[in-house]
Structure 1
Amino acid sequence: MRLRTRLQLLTAATAAACLGLMGLTTTAHADVTDIPPAGANDWSCKPSSAHPEPVILVNGTFKTMAENWATLSPKLADDGYCVFAFNYGHAATDPIPDSAAELRDFVNAVLGSTGAKKVDLVGHSQGGMMSRYYIKFLGGTTKVDDLVGIVPSNHGTSNPLALAAGATVCPSCADQTTGSDLLKKLNADPETPTGPEYTQLATKYDEVVVPYTSSFLSGPADHVSNVLLQDKCPLDTTEHDQATKDPVVAQWVENALGRKGPADPRFQPHCVG
C-alpha cells in the first residue's frame, strides 16, 4: 500500500496512473466514506481541563478520514481528547485555498459545538500544509493552539508526478509541487505566524515529499519543532503513506498536544521494532 494505493499525494502522471487512482477518487464521494474513524465526531463531547482543545484530524491527498485516521483517532479519543475529522476537497484534490476554506468552516463548527476557544490540528501530508494556509490567510492564527504536521508537504515535492497529476485530475498536486505559486505565497515570511505552535514530523524514508526536509519549517525553537523520526528511533522505517499509523508518530503527536509549546525535541519515544 505504498505508491500504488496512495498514488501518493501526487500520482496520475499518465492515463494508466489516473485509472489506477479511480478506486480512491470515486469511493471518496460515496456515502460510506463519510463515516468517521473510530473515536471521532462525537458532537456531544466537551473538552476536559486536561485536554481543553478539541483535536481536528486533517487527511492527505486522495485519502478519506476513515482510512487515514483509523489508528490515531481512537488512540487520541481513548486518551481523553475530543476528536473530529472530515473529508474535504473531492478526495483532497481541489485547490488548496478552497480546501482551506472548508477547514475554516469545520473549525468554526467544532468550536461552536464544544465551546472551546481553540482547536489543535493534526494534518497528514497535504493536511499539514493546507492547515497552514488556513492559519495564515483565513483567520486561523487566533483559533489554533497546536498544528502537528505528519510528513507535511510544507515546501512541496520535487517528485515529477506532482506536476503531471496537477495537469490532469488533481489541482492540489500542482499546488504541492516545489516552487508553485501557492507555496511561494504560503512560505513567504513569516513561515510560522505567531499564534499556533508548530510541530513537523518527517521520515527519511518519505518517497512522496522529496526531499523529506521539505516538511520542516523555520521559526524560533520555542515556537517550532522539526522532528526526524530516525533521530530518536533509527530503526523506524515508516514511509509517507502509513505515517499516521506509526506508534512512534503517535507518541510525538501526543507529546506536542500535551504540553505548552511544540513537541519537546528532547522527548524520547518508545521505539518499536
Structure 2
Amino acid sequence: MLKRVALAAVTAAVTAALVTSTPAMADTHGERAEKAARGLVAPVQGANDWACKPRDGGRPVIFVHGATGVPGVPADPGPFAELTRKLTEDGHCVFALNHNWFLSMYHAAPNYDDPALDLTVRVAPSTTQLDVFVRGVQHATGADKVHVIAHSLGAPITRSYLKGSGNAARVDDVISLGGPNHGIDANSSPLTLIGCVPLLPACPEILKLDGGRFLGYVNDPEARPGVSYTSIGINEEAWAGNPFVAGESTANVFIGPAAIAGKTDDIFADPNHRYLVEGPHAPRRVCEAEPVTHQQEPANPHVQTMVLAALRASGPLPDDVVPC
C-alpha cells in the first residue's frame, strides 16, 4: 500500500511539473523568437512597432520583400510606406521582414532551443527567418495568426514557409503581389524583373534550373488548407511566368492593360498563356487601363484597395470588389 501511495505521489508530482513547465517553455521560445525577430526588420516607415496591438482583436500584417540588388537588404522600402500607413489606419499592426532571399528557399525549421537564436538566425535562409519572424510577431502582439503580404520572390518564400510543420495554422491570409508562384521563364523576361543572379542558390530554384524540383515542392499542393490566398498579377509578370495560385479559398486578379511596351500583342490571346482565360488559375481582370510596374506594385492605390478588402474579408478578395 505504501508503495502504491508513493508511486501515486511521484506520478502526481511529475504531471504537475509537466503542466507548469510547458507554458514556460513556450514563453521561452516566444521570447527568443521575438528577440530574434526584432533584429530582422526592414526599414519600412511606420512599420515594426513592437508595442502595437491589433485593433478589435485583429491580426498583424507581415511584409515579405522580394529579391533585391543587395541580398537581404530591401532595395526600396518606399513602395510599402503608403500601404503601411493605410493598414495602420485600418487597425493593423505592420511588421516588415528583412530576409536573406539569396539562399535556398526550401523551408528549414529553426532551433528554438538555441539560446543565441537572435544571432544564428541572422545568417539563416529566408524561410527560416520568416518562421522566427512570424512567431516573434505573434508573441509580441498576442495574435493567434498573422497576415502575410508577399511581393515578388517573397511569395514562393512564404509558400515554402507554409510547408513547415504547423506553420499554415499560424497564417490567415497570404496576399501575393507579382509572385513567381510557378517559376520564372528566363527566356521571356529579363532577370532584372526579380534581380536574380543564377549563381545564388535561390535563383536556380525559381528559374527552374534545378529541373523544377523546388517548384514541385512548393506547389504540392498550391494552396494550404486553412489559408486564404489573394494573388495579384500584371502583364510583365505573366510574361515571366504564372503569378497565380489555384485551390480552395483563392482569388486571382489581373491588373493593368493586356499589352505592354515592347509587346504590343494581347497577352490574353497568346496561346502560351491560356491559363489567363481558362482553368483554375484564370484571373479576374480589373483596371485594364491602369499602368502599374512590378517594382511599384505595393504602392499602386488600386492594389492597395484590394489588399485592404482582402484583409477585411473572411476569405480571399471577394468577387464584388471594384478597386477603380
Give TM-score, length-normalised by structure 1. Answer: 0.77
Q: Does 1:139 align with 2:176?
A: no
Structure 1 residue 79, shift from structure 2 partner: 2.3
Matched-pair contact (CA < 8 Å) for 1:59–1:68: no
Q: Distance in 2 between matches of 1:127 and 1:185?
A: 16
Matched-pair contact (CA < 8 Å) for 1:159–1:210: no
* Structure 1 residue aligned with 2:247: 219
Structure 2 counterpart of 1:204, which letter?
A: N
* Structure 2 residue aligned with 1:60: 66
Q: How does 1:164-175 map to 2 (within 5 A)?
A: 165-168=196-199, 170-175=200-205
* Structure 1 residue aligned with 2:132: 105
Matched-pair contact (CA < 8 Å) for 1:41–1:84: yes
* Structure 1 residue aligned with 2:141: 114
Matched-pair contact (CA < 8 Å) for 1:134–1:140: yes
Q: Distance in 2 between matches of 1:164 and 1:240?
A: 12
Structure 1 residue 109, shift from structure 2 partner: 0.3
Q: Distance in 1 between matches of 2:79 and 2:203?
A: 18
Q: Does 1:255 align with 2:309?
A: yes
Closer, same or farther in 2 for the Cα pair 1:39/1:156, shift >3 Å? Answer: same
Q: Does 1:81 align with 2:92?
A: yes
* Structure 1 residue aligned with 2:83: 72
Structure 2 counterpart of 1:42, which letter?
A: D
Residue by residue, what CA displacement relative to the aligned partner does 1:128-185 show, whole Å, maximum 9, x if unpaired?
22111111235321000000000111001102455995433x3222221145321111
* Structure 2 residue aligned with 1:13: none
Q: Does 1:47 align with 2:54?
A: yes
Matched-pair contact (CA < 8 Å) for 1:200–1:225: yes
2:239 to 197, 210, 232: 210
Report how many residues are paired. 228
Q: Distance in 2 between matches of 1:35 and 1:133?
A: 20
Matched-pair contact (CA < 8 Å) for 2:67–2:196: no
Matched-pair contact (CA < 8 Å) for 1:37–1:74: no
Q: Distance in 2 between matches of 1:199 and 1:259?
A: 11
* Structure 1 residue aligned with 2:114: none
Structure 1 or 2, whichever has the larger Rg, is 2
* Structure 2 residue aligned with 1:182: 214
Seq. identity, %:
32
Structure 2 counterpart of 1:256, which letter?
A: A
Higher RCO (CA 8 Å, separation ≥ 6 residues)? 1
Matched-pair contact (CA < 8 Å) for 2:47–2:93: yes
* Structure 2 residue aligned with 1:269: 323
Matched-pair contact (CA < 8 Å) for 1:149–1:199: yes
Give TM-score, length-normalised by structure 2. Answer: 0.66
Q: Does 1:199 align with 2:230?
A: yes
Matched-pair contact (CA < 8 Å) for 1:227–1:265: no
Matched-pair contact (CA < 8 Å) for 2:42–2:96: no
Structure 2 counterpart of 1:201, which letter?
A: I
Matched-pair contact (CA < 8 Å) for 1:39–1:78: no
Structure 1 residue 34, shift from structure 2 partner: 5.7
* Larger displacement relative to structure 2 (40-49 or 94-103): 94-103
Structure 1 counterpart of 2:53, which letter?
A: K
Q: Distance in 1 between matches of 2:316 and 2:83?
A: 19
Structure 1 residue 47, shift from structure 2 partner: 1.0
Q: Secondary structure at the match of 2:162?
A: helix
Closer, same or farther in 2 for the Cα pair 1:42/1:180, shift >3 Å? Answer: same
Q: How does 1:90-101 map to 2 (within 5 A)?
A: 92-97=101-106, 98-101=125-128
2:295 to 241, 264, 272: 241
2:153 to 119, 126, 130: 126
Q: Distance in 1 between matches of 2:240 and 2:164?
A: 26
